[in-house]
Amino acid sequence: MKWTQRLTSLTFLWCLFFNSGLLASTDSTPRVVFVNPGHADESFWQDVDDYAKAAAKALNIDLEIIHGERDTELMQQRLSERVANGKTPDYVILVNEAQTGRSLLQSLSQTSSHVVFTLNNLTPDELVEIQREPEWQQRLLPGVFPNNFRIGYLTAQALYRQGGQHAGEALLLSGDSNTPASIQRKAGALAFIEQVGGLDGVRHGYGEWQESSAYAETNRLLSLYPNIRYIWTANDHMAYGAQRALKKSDKVIGEEAFISTINTSTRVLNELEQGNITVLGGGHFTAVGLTLVKIHQHRTGKLWPQRTKFTLFHLIEPDTTLFHVLLDKQWNNIDFRAIDLSSNPIDPYLQRKEE
């Protein structure tokens, strides 16, 4: 059976269950646990937390956040401890970071919680396998996933244009080799490079989402390939490492070398405005908050939305409305109850109307 046929079958099973009227009860404030694989003070994951907290407050959801600290074993341990010692949550939001999703799901097998993946989904094979189990046919709900392939393509395309479409070598600095978002972003960048041609060579490296690792990797590759002109990175921390390596090599960003990246931290927005980052994409930090919107609708008697793919990523330009919204981060001003999950593209920044 083809993947499209299998996934269509899964969608049918989800629709069959949730169209049957077996909705969650609405007699209490929903208790939600979000297992965040990152650090609480890490730029992207902090944005995820802050946006989700604002959504939870607006939607009257009791949100608890567990942080994995970029340590898959610690993340598994903390979830297991939470399941053993705390009140059973109505919903648990998971991220399939570094392909840990299946084991995290197993930790919840003896609970009654509904489970939602967001940002990084399980693989098609895993979804097919899991949906053979009756309990997960009922408890595993369709999540919210941004189009990582698209932003990988768009940032690579914009990077090449900003570099004057001149010949040179390119460096693709991915996060890791396991996380779906990392794989899909790189695939998008490669798709553009293969389509456009005209580059002298493409080099590949992994920065493990960290500045120090990205610095070491970029520094190593620049010593081997000094004609690298385009540096595509999968997140802002790795872009900072690439910046340091370029500075060490006496390459001027915006003239001799160009950097693209993804995320919307305050620092990277300022770096974009100053020209130290050439191209920036972002917006996917809203995925967990939008999952809470799904939960709110489910708890208030609406059918669980089956759609999972959302256009959350955008290329970000300085001195635009979106730029200032992302810089200000006034998430408490968002009208989460009015967000339309059926719209395409969705507007995660819908402001409350003044009364």
Q: Give the pLDDT mean for 192-208.
A: 94
CA atoms within 13 A on the CB side of 12: 7
Closest-CA residue to 257 (of 288, 210, 221) = 221
Q: Does 6 have pLDDT greater than 70?
A: no
Q: Give the pLDDT mean for 73-91.
A: 95
Q: Give the pLDDT mean for 216-221.
A: 98
Closest-CA residue to 354 (of 339, 341, 336, 335) = 335
Most distant CA pair in the chain, distance: 64
Q: Does 236 have pLDDT greater than 70?
A: yes
Q: Left, alpha or beta for 275 (phi > 0: left; psi -120 to 50: alpha)?
A: left
Distance CA 61, CA 194 (A): 46
Distance CA 189, CA 184 (A): 9
What SS3 class is residue 188? helix
Among the listed ranges 1-10, 156-165, 236-245, 310-319, which one has the minimum average pLDDT value?
1-10
Q: Give the pLDDT mean for 21-44.
A: 79
Distance CA 35, CA 61 (A): 16
What is the chain's Cα-based Rg? 21
Task: Specify which residues 258 forms β-bridges with.
Answer: 230
Phi, psi angle pair for 353, to nearest 5°: -80, 135
pLDDT tier, 355 (very low <50, low <70, confident <90, very high otherwise): low
Please report the pLDDT score of residue 72 as a whole number: 94
Strand-pair category, 314-315 with 279-282:
antiparallel
Provide the whole-model pTM.
0.90
Q: Does 40 have pLDDT greater than 60?
A: yes
Gap between the terminal Cα atoms of the chain:
54
Please report the pLDDT score of residue 21 as a whole number: 35
- Which tokens hold the place of 183? 């794989």
Sheet holding 169-174, edge to edge: 201-206, 169-174, 228-233, 258-262, 279-282, 314-315
Q: Give the pLDDT mean for 16-23.
A: 40
Mean pLDDT of the chain: 91
Please report the pLDDT score of residue 354 as a whole number: 67
What SS3 class is residue 239? helix
